[in-house]
Amino acid sequence: MVEAQRIEDNVTRQGDADEAGGQYLTFMLAGEEYGVEILKVQEIKGWDTVTPIPNTPDHVLGVLNLRGAVVPIVDLRSRFSLDSIVYGPTTVVVVVKMLDEDQERTVGLVVDAVADVYRLESNEIQPAPDMGGTIHTDFVRGLATVEEKMVILLEVDSLIEFRDVDDGAPSSTDDAALQAEAV
């Protein structure tokens, strides 16, 4: 049922944000607060070393064993072209379920820290302005203001590409070494 609702959401979302209301989990990334639909979140777990996959974009850190499933881990800072930091005690992995065409895939997002859970009505959510450059507008579902702060609501399903072949050159920076130092 949730699935059906989700698909419906996806359909009706085109153009306006009328149906975007609901609960959002927010997290911090370089001082900004971002939110994802809470129904998309499977769990939140602490940062753990990952196994890098060769020849993948930089933001794909590698794969992790999540109770027997092999799950890719994406660094959201890197995904949004933000400066990378040394992972600290608040660094967490938000495990989300993405809908890629008809297939549901589990992906971990590395964020600086988890923040809060808000209930937002659809009229509180504004469509994202065209920002150009740094953050791709496709990622953004809309903006909301909570207690005078801006929260960027993300479109979980479009955060990573699953069959894109134009990832460019093989990852030049050595993620493994970088992560190992961090831990």
Partner 1 sequence: MPIDIDMAEIAQLFIEESMEGLDIMESGLLNLDLGDANSETMNAIFRAAHSIKGGGATFGFTEISEFAHHLETLLDEMRQGERPVTRDGVDLMLQSVDCIRDMINSLSSGEVDTTRAEELEIQLEKMLNSETCVNTAQQDISTSIGADEGRAVTTAPESGWDIRFKPHPGMLKSCNDPLRILKELEQLGEIDVCSEGGTDLILGDFDPEECLLSWRVTLNGDAVRSQIEEVFAWVTDECDFAIEPIGGDAEIQKQDLAVKSASEETPANSGKETNTKKASPPRKAVKSSTSKQEGGSIRVNIDKVDALINLVGELVITQSMLSRFNGDFDFTQIEGLREGLSQLSRNTRELQESVMAIRMLPISFAFSRFPRLVRDTGNALDKKFELRLLGESTELDKTVLEKIGDPLVHLVRNSLDHGLETPEVRLAAGKPETGVLELNAYHEGGSIVIQVIDDGAGINKDKVLQKARERGLVGPDETLSDDRINNLIFVPGFSTVDEVSDLSGRGVGMDVVRRNIADLGGDVSVQSETGIGSTFTIRLPLTLAILDGQLIRVGKQSYIISLVSIVETIQTTTDKVNAIAGKFELFKLREEYLPVLRLHELLGIEADSTRIDDGLLVVAEANGQRIGIFVDDLLEQQQVVIKSLEANYRQMQGISGATILGDGTVALILDVPGMIRLFFEQNSDAGTVSDVA
Give the binding site for partner 1 (CB under 8 A): 49-57, 60, 62-65, 68-72, 105-107, 162-172, 174, 176-177, 180
3-state secondary structure 109-161: EEECEEEEEEEECHHHEECCCCCCCCCCHHHEEEEEEECCEEEEEECHHHCCC
Instruction: Give, as one character, the DSSP assignment of residue 48.
Output: -
Q: How far is the CB of 17 from partner 1 (least distance, A)?
A: 29
Three-state SS at 51: strand
Which CB atom, from 60 or from 92, has the smaller least distance to partner 1? 60
Q: How far is the CB of 41 from partner 1 (least distance, A)?
A: 16
Q: How far is the CB of 104 from partner 1 (least distance, A)?
A: 9
Which CB atom, from 15 or from 46, has the smaller least distance to partner 1? 46
Which CB atom, from 66 or from 146, has the smaller least distance to partner 1? 66
Q: Which residues of 35-51 are buried (b: 16+ CB within 10 A; e: fewer)?
A: bbbebbbeebeebeebe
Which CB atom, from 6 or from 105, has the smaller least distance to partner 1? 105
Q: How far is the CB of 154 from partner 1 (least distance, A)?
A: 19
Three-state SS at 78: helix
